[in-house]
Structure 1
Amino acid sequence: MTHITAIILTFNEEKHIARCIQSLQAVCTRICIIDSFSTDRTIEIAKDLGAEVFSHVWENNYAKQLNWGVQEATIQTGWTLRIDADEYLTEELQQEIKQRLPSISEGISGIEFTRKVLFKGHWVRFGGFYPIHLLRLWRTGLGSCEQRLMDEHIVLSAGETIRFKEHVVDENLNDMHWWVLKHNNYARREAADALNQKYQLAFTTDLTAAGNSQAHVKRAAKNSFYNRLPLGLRAFIYFIFRFVFQLGFFDHPKVWMFHFMQGLWYRLLVDINIFEAQKAASDDPERLKKIITKEWKIEF
């Protein structure tokens, strides 16, 4: 049997955590929760299902939190798996892991899963949202989360990557009020990431860290084309491209709301944050850094 430790970051995930853990129990020998001091029943549910819980203050930086959790958990299993609390492994993926992982060659260090996003019970199949391939399983010690404020990926220090065909499902059960609050926070983090890339406020982001993966292709397109377009206008262009040319209108009408909110409203919000920060700081990097760390409370 090939042993796997799963890492899950949580904060008030009582709606999702049992579903996530139960989908992992078939393939993982150890499940570790890295909790940001939840005030609901997240910790209670996780412990009842046999998960270990580690508590660590959230610094509005996913990469720092995940890398802290991996280190603090002192993982001894051969493989490490990353999953979000509102995701779960399908039974087909559980079987694929059990069948294929024991025979993986030594030269393979990472395994990509295909993510399937559901919104209001409907599959987000078009608009560039499927298939999305993410490196979620890696040989312990050979993977870490790259230092970015948004769109963080696991990068390998050695070895090759292969892809399993079955799905990890992303299905958040919270209401739209919660979704808007979450994306308000995301918008500032993405704006901070963009400003850091432009002004080199803290760390240097390696835009090629994701190698030749799907993530790298998207990142290169965003850096070479999208980021060169005027603020605001680019959000409208992206939405039209996604909804029309990437066939988002073929999705269920309930999913149209997702494409509009995530593909237009959110992108406009990111640009508004960038514009306001640059105007307030008069493009002074030191003043920009203070706005991000003091006012936005985002740690680099």
Structure 2
Amino acid sequence: MSESLDIIILTFNEAKNIGDCLQSAALLKANIYIVDSGSTDNTLDICRLYTQNIFNHPFENYAAQRNWALDNLPLTGTWILNLDADHRVTPELAAQLNDIFSKSVDPEINGFLISRRTMFMGKWIKHGGHYPTYHANLFRQGFGHCEEKLYDQHFKVTGNTQVLKTDIIDVITDSLTSFIARHNHWATLEAQYLVEQQNAPLVDDNGKLVHPRLFGNPMERRRYMKKRYEAFPLFVRPVIYFTIRYFIKLGFLDGKTGLVFHFLQGFWFRFLIDAKIYELRKENKK
């Protein structure tokens, strides 16, 4: 017996992105659901070319929006694939998922981990430990939710997961200006979260967060390494991280475009987080 698939895509003024996203998603045998948060461009006109399942919900944060969609949309599929407008389903992933869901999936498997293929300034960033990077975008209905975090939130799956060897393309920016603006915003959220955690550590009694485990699945291992990173002193850790990523993990093989990406995302962004943490701590002492 075959399985059915629903796709959820969040949008807000994504006219530049959503057409390519939906065109790639159309390769899948799936129902597509759009959750828009008040677009004022022609995003929804483009969406209507692919689906009539369009819903509006005010945006609070990404985690709240994703969980609202999971809890409130009239989903009918056995499985749910969560995408962003800047994601592209590769033909290889579409073929693999269509094959997987053409028959019954092992009932012991409740989710699939899919790697993102980061595209930056038109180049695939392959090195520096940035690929493969797995996310639990796909899970059985009722067995997944988004972590309630303001930044670096992941989907948490209840039960066993399986790693897929095909990718989602992630077009992470349309310009350096927007890249810097978005990362400045995310740095603020991450700094606030880390300062709050230091003052009142979050206790995850309900299993809502991805647990850091050295010998867990790829997401759990990455969360473990992030916790290790956070244990290092401010301003020292970005230097160590960039050195490991760019030199030891061969980020320099990504060329000049890779230098821009690894420096901005692997050093500047993390140094900015530390600077904002430093600023918040000084303010809290006043």
TM over 0.5: yes
In the other structure, the counterpart of 1:251 is 254
Please tell me whether residue 216 in structure 1 is matched to residue 217 in structure 2. Answer: no
In the other structure, the counterpart of 1:289 is none
Q: State the superposition RMSD in angstroms.
A: 1.9
Residues of 2 paired with 1:253 and 1:91: CA distance? 28
How far off is 1:110 after superposition? 0.3
Please tell me whether residue 125 in structure 1 is matched to residue 126 in structure 2. Answer: yes
Please tell me whether residue 233 in structure 1 is matched to residue 215 in structure 2. Answer: no
How far off is 1:208 after superposition? 4.7
Residues of 2 paired with 1:41 and 1:51: CA distance? 15
Alignment of 1:126-275 (within 5 A): 126-157=127-158, 159-172=159-172, 174-200=174-200, 204-205=203-204, 208-209=210-211, 212-223=216-227, 225-275=228-278
Please tell me whether residue 282 in structure 1 is matched to residue 285 in structure 2. Answer: yes
* TM score, norm. by length of structure 1: 0.87
How far off is 1:39 after superposition? 2.0
**2:84 aligns to what SS in structure 1?**
coil
**1:105 aligns to what SS in structure 2?**
coil
How far off is 1:106 after superposition? 1.0
| 1:75–1:200 Cα change, 3 Å | farther
Contact 1:153–1:210 (Cα < 8 Å) also in 2: no
Unaligned 5+ segments in structure 2 are none
How far off is 1:193 after superposition? 2.1
Residues of 2 paired with 1:62 and 1:116: CA distance? 21
In the other structure, the counterpart of 1:41 is 42
Contact 1:118–1:170 (Cα < 8 Å) also in 2: yes
| 1:92–1:277 Cα change, 3 Å | same
How far off is 1:173 after superposition? 5.1
In the other structure, the counterpart of 2:113 is 112
Residues of 1 paired with 2:236 and 2:212: CA distance? 28
Residues of 2 paired with 1:250 and 1:267: CA distance? 21
In the other structure, the counterpart of 1:81 is 81
Residues of 1 paired with 2:255 and 2:136: CA distance? 28
| 1:51–1:242 Cα change, 3 Å | farther
**1:83 aligns to what SS in structure 2?**
strand
Contact 1:30–1:51 (Cα < 8 Å) also in 2: no
In the other structure, the counterpart of 2:62 is 62
Residues of 1 paired with 2:199 and 2:130: CA distance? 30
Contact 2:154–2:210 (Cα < 8 Å) also in 1: no
How far off is 1:51 after superposition? 4.6
Residues of 2 paired with 1:182 and 1:265: CA distance? 13
Residues of 2 paired with 1:79 and 1:174: CA distance? 31
Contact 1:190–1:270 (Cα < 8 Å) also in 2: yes
How far off is 1:127 after superposition? 0.7
Q: Tell me the number of residue pairs that the alignment of Structure 1 and Structure 2 aligns.
A: 279
**CA deviation digits over 1:187-243, x for unaligned, max 9?**
111112212322227x545665376222211221222x3212221221111111111
The letter of the residue matching 2:225 is A
Alignment of 1:94-109 (within 5 A): 94-101=94-101, 102-109=103-110
| 1:171–1:244 Cα change, 3 Å | same
Residues of 1 paired with 2:149 and 2:24: CA distance? 28
The letter of the residue matching 1:39 is T
How far off is 1:122 after superposition? 1.2
The letter of the residue matching 1:41 is N
Residues of 2 paired with 1:135 and 1:191: CA distance? 25
Please tell me whether residue 19 in structure 1 is matched to residue 20 in structure 2. Answer: yes
The letter of the residue matching 1:134 is H
**2:48 aligns to what SS in structure 1?**
helix
- The sequence identity of aligned pairs, in percent, is 34
Residues of 2 paired with 1:265 and 1:30: CA distance? 40
Unaligned 5+ segments in structure 1 are 284-300
The letter of the residue matching 1:198 is Q
Contact 1:81–1:137 (Cα < 8 Å) also in 2: yes
